Chain A
Amino acid sequence: METWKQSKAVFWTLATPGTLWLAIFFVAPLAIIWGLSFAEKTSIVDTEITGTLSNYIRALGTPVYLKIIWKSIWISALATLMCLIIAFPIAFVVAFAPDKWKPILLMAVILPFWINLLIRTYALISVFRTRGFVNFGLEWLWDGANSILAFIGLGPAVLGAFEPLQMLYNNFAVIAGLVYVYMPFMVLPLYATIERLDKSFLEASLDLGASQARTFWSVVFPLTMPGIVSGIILVFIPCLGSFLTPDLLGGTNATMIGNVIERQFKAANDWPFGAALSFLLMYATFGALALRSLFAGRKSGMEV
């Protein structure tokens, strides 16, 4: 690697286009939103940046919005936890699979991630809706049970008519959707750390008489902590900012911050308030990233 002073012309040619693009079309838009979050509406179309904190106060002080923020946090936390519980065994199996199988299994984990988020959510709708596959299967079982009961002489339709389960437009649907959509984000960092794990630690632990469970909690779990933290952040942040999943699967019953932001920028036309909510989301993201770098820094310091 050379220092930039050795060939300044090449350095600047390479550095300028990307940096400028990001500065103009990424940093400037975010700066505008940041400014807007301290603005007030002066008329239907005009806003004026007055340095007011009223938008943040409204977001964090109004019970309605506080409730939505709190709900977004616990829905995201629950979805992240479920992702972790499901992804850990998968990552483990993939990491310990024979070399021949590894790429295939990894591909199987990654592939759904490449399928459009909207399409995957739509696929879930047709599974969960009142006339969807889950209810259809349940109805089939229900009718089967009914006719068996009728056959053994308990009279017709003992169980009564089938009542379809309402699985869409509630918190359950949103959590299931988030787990479904963001699971690959959890598997990959877990896989990466388990793969790099020195297998002889596990062997040593097992040889010295620890059970598989003990080995997992005392050896695997602490050693894969960086991967777990990365996975949690990679899933939690997009969950917290998700808009499509709660919109399509949650309806009006499971509104999250993302939906409120969308409403402020579209229907409600209150951009300053929407901007303040977006920046609360950004602060949360930065906080999470800072936590991770703090964690990663301490870890690498230990290993050296």
Chain B
Amino acid sequence: MSEIAGTNKAASPGGRAIAGPRGRRMTIGPLEYGRRFWLRCFVAATFLLLYAPIFTLIIFSFNDSRRNIVWRGFTFKYYEKAWNNDGLFEAFTNSLTIAVLTTIIATILGAMVALLLWRYRFPGKPAYEGFMALPIVIPEICMGVAMLAFFSRIGWPSGMPWPLNLSAITIAHIAFTFPFVAIVVRARMAGFNRELEEASKDLGASEWQTFMNVIVPFMRPGLIAGALLAFTLSLDDFVITFFTAGPETVTFPVKVYSMVRFSVTPEVNAASTALIVITVLATIVAMRFQTPDKTEAT
């Protein structure tokens, strides 16, 4: 609590200085809710509570103490330890491999579905859209146990050599990530001027040439954003992987789960920090690509 209360105190005088009577403007307009003091405090406190646990987790991954709560000096040794932990490293490699494979296939599948929904009118389209959204809306645990039952029922071989032992998890990940990619790409395509496509075809380009030279260049930011989304979703997934993974294949979140159940150690903090950095970077890059630039979308 000390951490939270301390920063909160530091934040509120700043809020008052701007919102108070001696601010830049004397009166707060009736709709300027962002300038009201109590609302500002509320938002600041909520963001603080949202971020304080994550920041303390990151800060204490550098703490030179096993007790993990009192600051004893800066160290990288837990990063070294996490790096040299063979189980953790293997899990990390597995997670990255799955995420890369998932990203490639989910982006292709998602883009195709997005193009289908963008381009065509067909009977039962609303139902089809609902069907595509299903993996997004159903509870993760239902999908997890369904995958478990499915792979055991069809007798999916277990104990295969390295990249193949990840196949079941990768298949499950593709199934729940590509509808997300479809949504992102379709949102991008909504800004496409269909006359460009018609012009290309009028000028004698084939379906394929039009696709490669007109549609794909426009779609690219959506594809990149969708791919990064699939990457983070796959890298982060715990519940579905937990059920789909056999006993011998461990991914990073599953490994962290077993470590967390065992004890709270700075090593887990270090490993978690590494994952946070990767996903946050991917997300920020994805957001950059997702913001529609108005110059293009005329």
Contact = CB atoms under 8 A, between A and B. Distances in A.
Interface of A: 1-4, 7, 10-11, 13-15, 17-18, 21-22, 25-26, 28-30, 32-33, 36, 86, 89-90, 92-93, 96-98, 101, 103, 107-108, 110-112, 114-120, 122-127, 129, 131-134, 136-138, 140-141, 180, 183, 199, 202-203, 206, 212, 237-238, 240-244, 248, 258, 261-262, 265, 271, 274-275, 278-279, 281-282, 285, 289
A41 B245 CA distance: 24
Contacts of A265: 145, 148, 243
B164 interface: no
A21 B253 contact: no
B67 A202 contact: no
Given A122-B260, A125-B264, A278 B146 contact: yes
A180 B50 contact: yes
Interface centre among B52, B115, B146, by most chain A C-beta atoms within 10 angstroms, is B146
B96 interface: no
A82 B57 CA distance: 25
Interface stretch (B38-46, B72-80, B217-225): B38-46
Q: Is the interface of A mostly helix, strand, loop or mixed?
A: helix
A285 B134 CA distance: 10
Contacts of B120: 1-4, 11, 14
Interface of B: 1-5, 30-34, 39-40, 42-43, 46-47, 49-54, 56-57, 60, 67-69, 108-110, 112-113, 115-116, 118-122, 131-132, 134-135, 137-143, 145-150, 153, 171-172, 174-176, 178-179, 182, 207, 232, 235-236, 238-239, 243, 253, 256-257, 260-261, 264, 268, 272, 275-276, 279-280, 283, 287, 291
A127 B108 CA distance: 42
Contacts of A203: 30-31
Contacts of B2: 133, 136-137, 140-141
Given A18-B112, A258-B141, A107 B287 contact: yes
A140 to B, nearest CB: 6
